[in-house]
């Protein structure tokens, strides 16, 4: 079989879906390469800062590593702005969706919310509410997101900071994104469907 025969998913056979699953599994193995390429592409996007978006991403990850963050959080710091090209108005959610099948829910939640939390630094200049994040103040991961933004994100626009290159983080990218998606060992009880992390993303804790 070179291609399936169905033209509507509802007409597919078990044999065809097993065939497609094999192809999808093979394609998924290339995810680390595609993420590394997407990071490289950040070198030429969103101008106006003293560092490129890639430089900012690398600096964020370098700071996280220097502070003793675990591997999942370092990778999260590295890719937290990966959505700037294709999701400029909800880049946080874009990056969180990439991470979600491979890391613990706390990491996904922090990345999902970091754009909102960053508003505290500048929203008042643009007519927005810098304290909008306060509706999440009772969430158990609230302070972790505050710390992520304060220590590693908002501070990482310094062209003089000794930032490690992407090659330094490449083994970690390959390690995290080569995990089996939604492996309970890493992500807990969540699945592709409604899960604990969906509840957490909504801002509730129960």
Rg, Å, the chain Cα set: 19
Cα–Cα distance between 152 and 77 in angstroms, integer? 7
Residue with tokens 């880049």: 91
pTM: 0.91
Q: What does the pLDDT profile of the chain (206 residues) look like in tens digits?
A: 999 999 999 999 999 999 999 999 999 999 999 999 999 999 998 889 999 999 999 999 999 999 999 999 999 999 999 999 899 999 999 999 999 999 999 999 999 999 999 999 999 999 999 999 999 999 999 999 999 999 999 999 999 999 999 999 999 999 999 999 999 999 988 777 766 566 555 555 44
| E strands, 2-46, in order | none
Cα separation of the two ends of the chain: 48
Exposure of 19 by Cβ count < 10 A (0-12 exposed, 13-18 middle, 19+ buried)?
middle
């Amino acid at each position: 079989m070179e291609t399936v025969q169905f033209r509507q998913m509802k007409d597919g056979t078990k044999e065809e879906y097993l065939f497609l699953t094999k192809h999808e599994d093979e394609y998924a193995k290339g995810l680390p390469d595609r993420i590394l390429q997407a990071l490289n592409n950040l070198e030429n996007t969103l101008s106006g800062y003293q560092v490129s978006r890639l430089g900012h991403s690398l600096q964020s990850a370098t700071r996280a590593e220097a502070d003793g963050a675990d591997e999942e959080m370092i990778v999260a710091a590295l890719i937290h702005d990966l959505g700037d090209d294709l999701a400029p108005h909800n880049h946080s959610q874009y990056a969180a969706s990439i991470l979600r099948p491979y890391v613990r829910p706390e990491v996904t939640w922090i990345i999902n919310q970091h754009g909102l939390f960053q508003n505290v630094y500048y929203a008042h200049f643009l007519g927005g509410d810098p304290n909008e994040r306060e509706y999440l103040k009772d969430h158990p991961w609230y302070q972790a997101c505050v710390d992520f933004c304060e220590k590693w994100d908002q501070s990482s626009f310094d062209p003089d900071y000794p930032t490690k290159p992407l090659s330094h983080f490449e083994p970690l990218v390959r390690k995290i994104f080569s995990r089996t998606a939604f492996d309970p060992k890493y992500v807990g009880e969540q699945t592709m469907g409604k899960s604990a992390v969906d509840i957490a993303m909504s801002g509730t804790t129960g």
